[in-house]
Amino acid sequence: MRPLDWAVLAVSLAGIVLYGLWRGRGSDTTQKYLLAGKTMPWYAMALSIMATQASAITFISTTGQSYVDGMRFVQFYFGLPLAMIIIAAYVAPRFHASGVYTAYEYLERRFDARTRALVSVIFLIQRGLAVGVALSAPALVLTVIMGWPAEVTTLLMGLTVIGYTVSGGIAAVTWTDFVQMLVMTLGLVAALATALWLSPVDLGGALQVAGAAGRLNPAVWTFDLNDRYNVWSGVIGGMFLALAYFGCDQSQVQRYLTGKSIAQAKLSLLFNAVAKIPMQFFILFIGAMVFVFFTFTKPPVVFDPGVQAKAEQAAGYEAVEREFNVAWTARKAAAEALPGTEAEFKAAQKAMDVARAKAATLAGHEGFNDTNYIFLSFVTKYMPVGVVGLIMAAIFAAAMSTISAEINSLATVSVIDVYRRHMKKEADDGHYLRASRWATGFWGLYAVVTAQYATNLGSLIEAVNMLGSLFYGGLLGVFGLAFFFPRVTGRGAFYGVLLGEAAIFATRFGTEITFLWFNVIGCVVVIVSGVVISSIGRRIGRPVG
Amino acid sequence: MSEEQERPPVFGSWRRLYWAVGLYLVAVIVLFSIFTRVFNR
C-alpha cells in the first residue's frame, strides 16, 4: 500500500467511526440503546441488514470461490426473496406488535421461560462462535499485505468497533452500517472496473474466457443432495437458511425491530429481497473477471504466500513450477484462440490445478485451500494507487458492520434474555443501560480473543455458513411452531428443539448430505416432534407447557 | 389507518408487492439460466 492508499483507508475508517459516534449520541435509555427508540427509516434498516450480512468474508472469500468454482454460489441466495416475503408478511409484524427487544423474548410470551432460555443459549453459542470468524477475515488481509501479526490486527479492529458500538448502541451500528454499505458498493464497482480495465480482452472476450473455464454458471439445475450449490438447494435450502438468519437470528431481527413502523420494517426486508442476489452476482462476477485477468497474467502457483514460500524451499519445486508454467502458457494460448479451443483450455486448466496441488503437497498442505488469498493477491499487486485503499476500506467497512451488529445483538440477548430475565429482574433503566454497555464491551473482547483461532478454517464463508447451519434449523423450527401452530405447547417446543438439534448433528456427522439441507431437516424435525409431543401431552390429559 | 394496514409506496398493496418480488425471483432464475446456457461451456 502506498501513501495515497493509506490516506484513503484512514479517512474512510475515521469518517465511519466519527459518523457512528455522532449518530449514536443521545442513546441514554435502554430502549434507545438497543432499539434506537424505534425511529429508523426503511432505507437505513435495509442497508444495515445488507451490510450486516455482507462481511469482509464476502469480499475476500466469495470472489476467490468464483475464481476456483465459478458463480454457482449465487444460487445460495435464491431462497432469500421467498424468505423475506414470509418474514415481512408474518414475522416482522408480530415482533413489532409485541414490543419485544429480542426475538427470543417473543418465545416466552408464546411458550415458556425455558424455551426462551434454551433458544437464547443456542443463539449465544452459535453467534459467539461466528463473531470470531468475522473478525479474523480482515486480520488475514493485513497479515498478507503488511505482515502484521494477526493478533495486533484483530485487536486494533476489535477496539475500533467496540468504541462506537459501546458508545452509541444500535443507532451508531445502523448508521455506520449505512455508510459502510455505500463504501462497500464503491469498492465493488472500483474492483470490477479495474479488473476489466487491466484485462487485455474486452468484455465479450472476458465472458468467452470465463465461460470456457466453466466460471459463468449462476444457474445449475442438476439435483444432488450432496452438491452444495444448485437451483434446488438454493431455493429450498437457501430459503430455510434465510428464514432462520433473517427471521430468528437476533443480529438481523434487531435491525428491523428499530423501525419506526411495521411498514418501514417490511420495506427494509423487501429491499433486501430484491437487491441481495444482484449484489452477490456482482461480487462473484468480479471473481470470474479476476480469473480472466490471471489467464493473461501469470498467477503465483499458490496464492497463499505462506504455502508458496514453503513450497519454494522444498526439493522438487522447480519441476512443479515448470509444469505449472507450461500449463499456464498452454491455457493462455488456448484462451487467445477461443472460440474452438475450449477442450485445450480445460486440459491446460486441469494441468495447472494438478501442479498447484503438487506444490501445496510439497509445502505440507495436502488438500489446501487458497480461496481466501486470490482476491487480496490481485488487489495488492495489480490495482492502481488509491483504488487499493478504497477496496481495503470496503473490506474493513464490511468487517466492521458485521462485527458491530453481532456484538450488539449478543449483548442484547445477554442482557434482556439472560441478565434481566434470570439474574436481576428489578432494576432501574440506567442499570440495564450500563449492563448493555458492559455486555457489548465483553462480547467485543471475546470476539478479539476467538478470532485468533479462526484463521485456519479453510474457506471462511463456508465455515460461517456451516456453523450457522448446525443451529439454524432448531431456531427456525421453534419459531415456525410459535407462528403457525397455535396448539403446540411449551413442552412440545422445548423438546422439539432438542430433537431437532440432535437430528442436525446426526446428519452432519453421520451422512454426506451438504449443510444447506441441515436447516430443512432440523426445522422439519422440530415441527413434527413439537406437534407430536404436544398432541401426546393433550391425549394423556397431563398439564403441559 | 393502522400501522399494519399502511400501504407500501409501490404496487398499491402488500399482497401485490409480495407477488411482484416472487415474480422477480422467477425472472432472475430464468435470466441466470439463460446466462449460463449462453456463456458457460
The shortest CB-CB distance from A219 to any of B3, B25, B29 is to B29
pLDDT digits (tens, 9 = 90+) for A109-155: 999 999 999 999 999 988 887 888 788 876 776 676 667 777 777 88
C-alpha distances in Å from residue A492, one per residue of A473, A501, A527, B15:
16, 14, 9, 33
CA-wise closest residue to A498 among A534, A465, A522, A466: A522
Structure confidence at residue A545 (pLDDT):
47
As a whole number of angstroms, the distance between CA A462 and CA A176 comes to 26
Residue of chain A whose alpha carbon sits nearest to that of B36: A217
What the block records as the C-alpha cell of A427 is 432494576
Chain A residues at the B interface, defined by Cβ less than 8 Å, are 70, 74-75, 78, 81-82, 84-85, 88-89, 93, 96-97, 207-208, 210-212, 214-221, 231, 235, 261-263, 266-267, 270, 273-274, 277-278, 281, 342
- pLDDT at residue A372 is higher than 90: no
State the maximum Cα–Cα separation within chain B, in Å, rounded to a whole number: 55
SS3 A40: strand
pLDDT band, residue A457 (cuts 50/70/90): low
List of residues 6+ apart from A40 with CB closer than 8 A: A48, A174, A258, A259, A260, A264
- pLDDT at residue A25 is higher than 80: yes
- pLDDT at residue A57 is higher than 80: no
**Torsional class of A197: left (φ above 0), alpha (ψ -120 to 50), beta (otherwise):** alpha
pLDDT band, residue A461 (cuts 50/70/90): low
As a whole number of angstroms, the distance between CA A191 and CA A209 comes to 19
pLDDT digits (tens, 9 = 90+) for A233-276: 899 888 988 998 899 999 999 999 999 999 999 999 999 999 99
The answer to whether A536 touches A253, Cβ cutoff 8 Å, is no
SS3 A213: coil
The answer to whether A461 touches A65, Cβ cutoff 8 Å, is yes
Indicate which of B14, B16, B23, B33 best probes the interface with A, i.e. most A CBs within 10 Å of its own CB. B14
As a whole number of angstroms, the distance between CA A364 and CA A464 comes to 25
Structure confidence at residue B22 (pLDDT):
96
User: Rounded mean pLDDT of A342-360?
Assistant: 91
As a whole number of angstroms, the distance between CA A537 and CA A545 comes to 9
C-alpha distances in Å from residue A195, one per residue of A190, A192, A288, A297, A387:
8, 5, 10, 12, 11
Chain B partners of A93 at a C-beta cutoff of 8 Å? 4
CA-wise closest residue to A263 among A40, A52, A49, A484: A40
Kindly compute the dihedral angle of the four CA atoms of residues A479, A481, A485, A488, in this order, to the nearest 10 degrees.
-130
Residue of chain A whose alpha carbon sits nearest to that of B41: A212
- pLDDT at residue A97 is higher than 60: yes
As a whole number of angstroms, the distance between CA A536 and CA A528 comes to 12
For Cα atoms A444, A446, A451, give the angle at the middle one, nearest 5 degrees.
100
pLDDT digits (tens, 9 = 90+) for A462-489: 666 677 778 888 999 999 999 999 999 9
Does residue B41 or residue A285 have the better pLDDT? A285
Structure confidence at residue A450 (pLDDT):
82
Beta bridge partners of A40: A259
The residue with cell 522444498 is A314
pLDDT digits (tens, 9 = 90+) for A391-445: 888 888 888 888 999 999 999 999 999 999 999 998 999 999 999 999 999 999 9
B21 — contact with chain A (CB < 8 Å)? yes
Structure confidence at residue B29 (pLDDT):
96
Residue by residue, DSSP assigns A151-179 as HHHHHHHHHHHHHHHHHHHHHHHHHHHHH
Rounded to the nearest integer, the mean pLDDT of chain A is 89
| Residue A78 main-chain phi, psi, to 5 deg | -65, -30
Counting every residue written for chain A, the total comes to: 545
What the block records as the C-alpha cell of A15 is 469518517
pLDDT digits (tens, 9 = 90+) for A497-533: 999 999 999 998 888 887 778 888 999 999 999 999 9
Sign of CA dihedral A389, A130, A52, A159: negative
Residue of chain B whose alpha carbon sits nearest to that of A232: B29
User: Rounded mean pLDDT of A14-31?
Assistant: 90
The single-letter DSSP state of residue B6 is: P
CB contact under 8 A, B25 and A78: yes
CB contact under 8 A, B18 and A89: yes
Chain B partners of A232 at a C-beta cutoff of 8 Å? none
The answer to whether A493 touches A478, Cβ cutoff 8 Å, is yes
- pLDDT at residue A33 is higher than 90: yes
What the block records as the C-alpha cell of A4 is 495515497
**ipTM score of complex:** 0.93
As a whole number of angstroms, the distance between CA A59 and CA A51 comes to 12
CB contact under 8 A, B35 and A216: yes
The answer to whether A537 touches A491, Cβ cutoff 8 Å, is yes
What the block records as the C-alpha cell of A513 is 448430505
List of residues 6+ apart from A456 with CB closer than 8 A: none
User: Rounded mean pLDDT of A42-54?
Assistant: 91
Q: Is cis: bond before A384, omega within 30 of 0?
A: no
CA-wise closest residue to A283 among A49, A64, A498: A64
- pLDDT at residue A278 is higher than 80: yes
As a whole number of angstroms, the distance between CA A393 and CA A176 comes to 13
pTM: 0.89
pLDDT digits (tens, 9 = 90+) for A143-167: 766 677 777 778 878 888 999 999 9
- pLDDT at residue B31 is higher than 80: yes
Residue of chain A whose alpha carbon sits nearest to that of B7: A263
Residue by residue, DSSP assigns A368-430 as ---HHHHHHHHHHHHSPTTHHHHHHHHHHHHHHHHHHHHHHHHHHIIIIIIIIIII--S--HH
| Residue A102 main-chain phi, psi, to 5 deg | -130, 160
CB contact under 8 A, A89 and B4: no
Share of chain A above pLDDT 90, in %: 55
